[in-house]
Structure 1
């Protein structure tokens, strides 16, 4: 499913009208009916329902006028509130229809808003702003939204809750908290990213008759099962471990021994043929928690941190690898930086860089340059803070527009970027996928290490970087969601996500 920015949706609307010849009033009529249809489906008989509809001056308000007309056929207690009669031409058509029908239309002012608190509405329809909002919400608009949020009515928002930026999901000062949002043709970015997606309540996408061919050039999609390449998950009977790749996990220290275990366990559980764990020798006791299938490659260390000289002694094994997973729990030491420089200078092996690999990358111009020139496929898996270090910006800047941040990292290093968050972004700088699976139970240390292991295993089985990233993110989140069917978000552990991968794989393959 495509995900659109406000500008993309406006251009599609414009083409539907100017090039295809569908009048704007027809699209508005269809949109308003779709909203009414959802209300009718939810409530059934509306005869005794008291309904308030708040309509802004743009086309979102016009959709509200159409909705009001249909609701007037069902209930005599429908009240339309407007901010003024200076509305768009198409909206004016439907405002006049309501006037001709003798509908109760009131212009909002402070006195009217104050009186609303004395009334009890069953249903509120929010048609104030829609997808065009760019400024902070102030004045009467702010007061109305505060009233809507204080009411105990069931709230429907048209296209997107008013006050939510449709391009980022951020709140422009104050925003409606809807029970259900009806958006048209395709979800908008603000419908999918937090906090906008939370304020949408249940999101419904309705077709209003715009030809789908007009969206063919959109490059952002929701990550669904239909977007996954499952071909390589099938295994022919006459195969052996060598057919599924050899992964070298370079990870761990005495400070973070569990990171290496989680990464390697996830890797071998996700189907790689052989998994080698390059980690400090003194962590052998901790490595008892690893799957016995993992081949331990003890690396000489100093103060519990792998050394560059110790790592070089394992070079003959590195040459046999198909994939390197680098960074989980290594620490941000100079030795970590030297090892990554050595790998990028002397090998051309697909590499997944996470955690401390990203942290040393952020501080080193030499690593920046080497990674840009590295010809084998590369996947970077930063969270917001790691992304901000790499980009040299504040973490709030990443949070404000994570899609742009992921795209910038992908372009800068010619890599696939997996920007991890509640809505993980995956991009190869051309296509963008937004993952909507997963739950707060994943918000625990170690979840990222598990993802790195899964991604590396997908690469080792022959997937290209983008397909590997998509499949890994999907399986990772799906496994956590399956756990939530029998556990709570507080008790889900990253190690359990690994153990539960067999069910996630089965659902993806068989459903």
Structure 2
């Protein structure tokens, strides 16, 4: 598990290292510059011409120092200064003096087309306003060139906290970032500008980060999988109840149930509409089945709840009156972990529309969101997992859909404030958040943007809970495994042709080496 910090957290870590630990800023800068220079050397030929485009802050100082190191290694390097030299930071000015004393070429005017490699040291993580004027022109010239670009800490023009573009930004082939990963390098669109990311340990203070610091997983985190015991039986690995599907939407129920089985659940029961059962039996004969209708749904739900150690409700359930009754009964009676997905989330939004219509009149988007979440938490059992994609999240919270992608970090905090629900906010970078949990997922591929993918994720999470993981860990590990399965499926089917079922069938390969 690794951490991903925002700009404020990283600045605080930098400040602590310098002021409390006592490591001088110039020492940190020299180490940072060495990492950058070594990365450039991996790609540079002796005949290449390199330019370090440097601003006047410490990011520029890093660039000047990296240029000097490459110069001493025998490379043809120019330093291009952008901005007023009178505004040099203390460390940047010192690096400029050293470079000048060594006779490096330092220019304030240049043509990017004269060079093969660009070191981007224009802005660091502290940028907080749109890029304009001379800076925008330089960034555009870099992006329009054929140069190989290495950015220092973060591509200039990208927010370190949320990955948004401040007007324009450098498109790097590689980014060398320092200390810890930056949220802005993981979130889109920042991730598309960063290229290959290298995390360099330059000596920042090691400290325990709080629970609201974002984490992400690597393959070593698969050791968090539930333990399989030699002496065990199907009753040892939990019982998943999937309340899902209608006659016209059997696929969603199947994907959730099949994924739960593939994830190791001992037993899976599907509670669905009567006309859907024959179809589902043919699709997944390993499952148990129960049917409901308008007359006997309460009795069937009661029986099914007695069976379950974890419950999934919503995939392909529809939003008719009977579906609403099922959801309300399950929310009232459930005594085990509950996952609400798809139509379950749409039903919650509809209930909120009916019960608190005055919220629709509020103009403040965050206040509307808080009112909706407060109502929803009164319906759902504590610890419920909700798995909305962005459109479902907009329906649930009334937060404008077009504003969600650039505010997903903040929305995760808004949704989890003062409640114990767990939100799995599905996007290209899915976020899992609760009152004391923040996780950002980095596995997966764009081939997963296909129908049924979210239903499979729900089943994977349910299977992990059935196997013994607590809900928060199951949600984070489930999202990560889902992404790995997508990557594995893409190797075989391609990102164009993969289907939700391919991801489920890829799970065994992902899990094979961790059995």
**Which of the residues 114, 121, 139 maps onto 1:120?**
114
Matches within 5 A, 1:416-455: 416-455=422-461
Q: Does structure 2 retain, via aligned residues, the 8 Å contact 1:131–1:166?
A: yes
Q: Tell me the CA shift for residue 482 of structure 1.
A: 1.5
Indicate yes or no: 2:336 matched with 1:346: no
Q: Which residue of 2 aligns with 1:185?
A: 179
Q: Which residue of 1 aligns with 2:250?
A: 257
Secondary structure, aligned partner of 2:432: strand
Indicate yes or no: 2:9 matched with 1:8: yes
Deviations 1:143-186 (A, max 9, x none): 00100011111100001111111111111111111011000011
Q: Does structure 1 retain, via aligned residues, the 8 Å contact 2:486–2:503?
A: yes
1 CA distance for matches of 2:196 and 2:269? 45
1 CA distance for matches of 2:71 and 2:275? 75
Secondary structure, aligned partner of 1:247: strand
1 CA distance for matches of 2:163 and 2:67? 27
- The change in CA–CA distance for 1:442 and 1:426 in structure 2 (over 3 A counts) is same
Q: Does structure 1 retain, via aligned residues, the 8 Å contact 2:331–2:381?
A: no
Q: Which residue of 1 aligns with 2:495?
A: 489
Indicate yes or no: 2:274 matched with 1:281: yes
Q: TM-score with structure 2 length normalisation? A: 0.91
- The change in CA–CA distance for 1:393 and 1:205 in structure 2 (over 3 A counts) is same
2 CA distance for matches of 1:212 and 1:50? 38
1 CA distance for matches of 2:186 and 2:175? 12
Deviations 1:396-447 (A, max 9, x none): 3321132222233233541221111111112222221211111111110100
Matches within 5 A, 1:43-442: 43=44, 46-75=45-74, 77-82=76-81, 83-85=83-85, 86-107=87-108, 112=109, 116=111, 119-213=113-207, 215=209, 219-228=213-222, 230=224, 232-237=226-231, 239-300=232-293, 307=294, 309-314=295-300, 315-365=302-352, 369=375, 371-372=377-378, 374-411=380-417, 413-442=419-448
Unpaired stretches in structure 1, ≥5 consecutive residues: 301-306
Unpaired stretches in structure 2, ≥5 consecutive residues: 356-372
Q: Does structure 1 retain, via aligned residues, the 8 Å contact 2:310–2:338?
A: yes
Deviations 1:88-116 (A, max 9, x none): 11111101111222222222xxxx4xx61
- The change in CA–CA distance for 1:370 and 1:312 in structure 2 (over 3 A counts) is farther
Q: Does structure 1 retain, via aligned residues, the 8 Å contact 2:348–2:376?
A: no
2 CA distance for matches of 1:36 and 1:217? 35
490-499 or 139-148, which moves further after superposition?
490-499
Q: Tell me the CA shift for residue 227 of structure 1.
A: 4.0
Q: Tell me the CA shift for residue 385 of structure 1.
A: 1.5
The alignment of Structure 1 onto Structure 2 pairs a total of residues equal to 492
Indicate yes or no: 2:53 matched with 1:24: no
2 CA distance for matches of 1:123 and 1:370? 54
